[in-house]
Structure 1
Amino acid sequence: MSTYAIGDIQGCLDPLLRLLDKIQFDPTYDRLWIAGDLVNRGPSSLATLRYLYSLGNSVTAVLGNHDLHFIAVAYGHKRKSSFDTLDQLLRANDCDELIHWLRHCKLLHTDSSLGYTMVHAGIPPIWNLEQATAHAREVETMLQSDYINDFLANMYGNKPCQWKNKLIGNPRLRLITNYFTRMRFCSAEGELDLNNKTAVSANDFLPWFAHPHHACRQEKIIFGHWAALEGRAAARNVIALDTGCVWGGCLTALRLEDGEMFRTRCPKT
């Protein structure tokens, strides 16, 4: 049995199937981790989500910003953008069932036996793994609860941009969500810079994983979200898996048992 972690699919089903064929993935024995952004921007969001859902317990996915965006659009709390490719998914007769499955995915998944933790964007340097897991659970609980509409209605925004334990309510949940699904650069104190989407640091902000005193520096962390890194994170124990599939790059899988990487080329969509 092998466990494979795969970066952002974003509705690109054909590259995913080619990659799974390359690694000879067998859902009876193998396990698949998906680092968020299962849907949107690619051509086959509905088919991708249906396929992953059909794999049952063989798949563990964390939520990315595009997955949360899809849920917010479906619930009427956000309008589609001109770049979204969600129409077929939103019209599908099994849309509610697929949303229910997504709502029960995590923001953070950790497996102590394998020694890996997976998130979509990252973990801020001020949180250790125990704290990050607890804060992720706060948002997961809201997504699975009857208060989901209140959460989605207040999910968008860049403020607050720095963690304080005294934060409560929607501002607290919004910042936790931004850390796990939108973060790239931040300060050592956890202040976010959500405007810089390049791979080049500016001012006093560094990539979230580059801070030397990161509270999770001893943990092995898998993340996606940041295609501009091209799969390169210059930090020990940190593995970047978003290699820009939807932009014509690659779709990448990491076999957790031995660290071997597998890639398949993707057409630009």
Structure 2
Amino acid sequence: MANYFVGDIHGCFSELKKLLETVDFNPSRDVLWSVGDLIARGSESLATLRFFEHLDNAARMVLGNHELNLFGINAGIRTPRPSCQLTELIASDDFPRLLEWLRLQPLLHEVPEHQLLMTHAGIPPQWDVDTLRQEATRVSEALKQPDYLDVIISRMYTDAPEGWNPDLNHYERIRYCINALTRIRFLYSDGRLDFACKLPPEECVDSDLKPWFLFPSKTDNYIKVFGHWAALMGETGNPKIQALDTGCCWDQYLTLWHLESNQKITQKRLKKS
């Protein structure tokens, strides 16, 4: 059995297929893990979702900000940008089924035997693993409820609260968890979330900001796998912090990380005719 972790696919399904052919991925033997953002920006979002759903237990994914935004688009809360190329997906006959399948996907995956945690964007350094599990489960359980559009989706389009406090109310905790696990990049020195800067760390001009993974963390004993931050191009300076978004949808490449060998395999963005 091999465990393969893939960065943000963003509808670049042809590139994913080539990567899986390169490593001879076998769903009866191997597991494909996705850091989320399977959809949007690339032209093959529908094919990507169908593929992951079809893999069943041979695939595991966490929700990214683009999957959550898709719920808002479907509810009429958000308007899809043309650049996200979601028309084919939304118009497909199986879109309702795929949307319901997405609702069942978590914000956190663990691989206990390897002491590994996977989220879309990162993990607040002030959270221990028990808090991480508790807050991620809170969101996942709320997403499964009939009123999820009111409890989560209609309330999540705000940057507040910027900081974690165990005294936050139910809705504030949900918002903070979603923002932290699916949008985090930089933090202020006091631990507050910043969403303005998306640059590589060396180009950030605010001296009070640092990448979330450079703070002392209560989960330092874990390998942490994430995507979301294409500007990092996979570079964190720490082998236990695996950044897998390498900007395939921005004409860079898609990255597959083989856990057991600690090897990264990449596929350059294909030119579409």
**TM-score, scaled to structure 1:** 0.96
Query: Closer, same or farther in 2 for the Cα pair 1:188/1:217, shift >3 Å?
Result: farther
Q: Give the equivalent residue in structure 1 for 2:111.
A: 111
Contact 1:245 1:265 in 2 (8 A): yes
Q: Give the equivalent residue in structure 1 for 2:39.
A: 39
| DSSP 3-state at the match of 2:114 | coil
Give the letter for the 2:101 counterpart. W
Whole-Å separation in 1 of the counterparts to 2:134 and 2:239: 24
Q: Does 1:58 align with 2:58?
A: yes
Q: Does 1:266 align with 2:237?
A: no
Whole-Å separation in 1 of the counterparts to 2:99 and 2:107: 15
Shift in Å, 1:114: 2.6
Contact 2:135 2:173 in 1 (8 A): no
The percentage of counterpart residues that share the same residue type is: 36
| DSSP 3-state at the match of 1:214 | coil
Contact 2:122 2:182 in 1 (8 A): yes
Give the letter for the 2:39 counterpart. V
For structure 1, which runs of at least 5 residues remain unmatched after alignment?
A: none
Q: Does 1:18 align with 2:8?
A: no
Match of 1:249 among 236, 243, 252: 252
Query: Closer, same or farther in 2 for the Cα pair 1:148/1:268, shift >3 Å?
Result: farther
Give the letter for the 2:104 counterpart. H
Give the letter for the 2:194 counterpart. D
Q: Does 1:214 align with 2:214?
A: no
Give the letter for the 2:228 counterpart. H
Whole-Å separation in 2 of the counterparts to 1:126 and 1:188: 12
Q: Does 1:203 align with 2:207?
A: yes
Whole-Å separation in 1 of the counterparts to 2:226 and 2:101: 21
Q: Greater helix share, 1 or 2?
A: 2
Q: Give the equivalent residue in structure 2 for 1:133.
A: 133
Q: Give the equivalent residue in structure 2 for 1:156.
A: 157
For structure 2, which runs of at least 5 residues remain unmatched after alignment?
A: none
RMSD after superposition: 1.3
More displaced 10-residue stretch of structure 1: 195-204 or 222-231:
195-204
| DSSP 3-state at the match of 1:198 | coil
Shift in Å, 1:236: 4.7
Q: Give the equivalent residue in structure 2 for 1:171.
A: 172
| DSSP 3-state at the match of 2:109 | strand
Q: Give the equivalent residue in structure 2 for 1:237.
A: 240
| DSSP 3-state at the match of 1:98 | helix
Whole-Å separation in 2 of the counterparts to 1:161 and 1:11: 30
More displaced 10-residue stretch of structure 1: 154-163 or 77-86:
77-86
Contact 1:249 1:267 in 2 (8 A): no
Query: Closer, same or farther in 2 for the Cα pair 1:215/1:188, shift >3 Å?
Result: farther
- How many pairs does the alignment contain? 268
Shift in Å, 1:268: 6.8
Whole-Å separation in 1 of the counterparts to 2:19 and 2:92: 26
| DSSP 3-state at the match of 2:173 | helix
Whole-Å separation in 2 of the counterparts to 1:191 and 1:158: 11
More displaced 10-residue stretch of structure 1: 42-51 or 233-242:
233-242
Per-residue CA distance 1:92-149 (angstroms, 9 max, x = gap): 1111111111111110100111321111000011001221111111111111111211
Shift in Å, 1:79: 1.5
Per-residue CA distance 1:141-197 (angstroms, 9 max, x = gap): 111111211111111111111111111132221111000001100135430110000
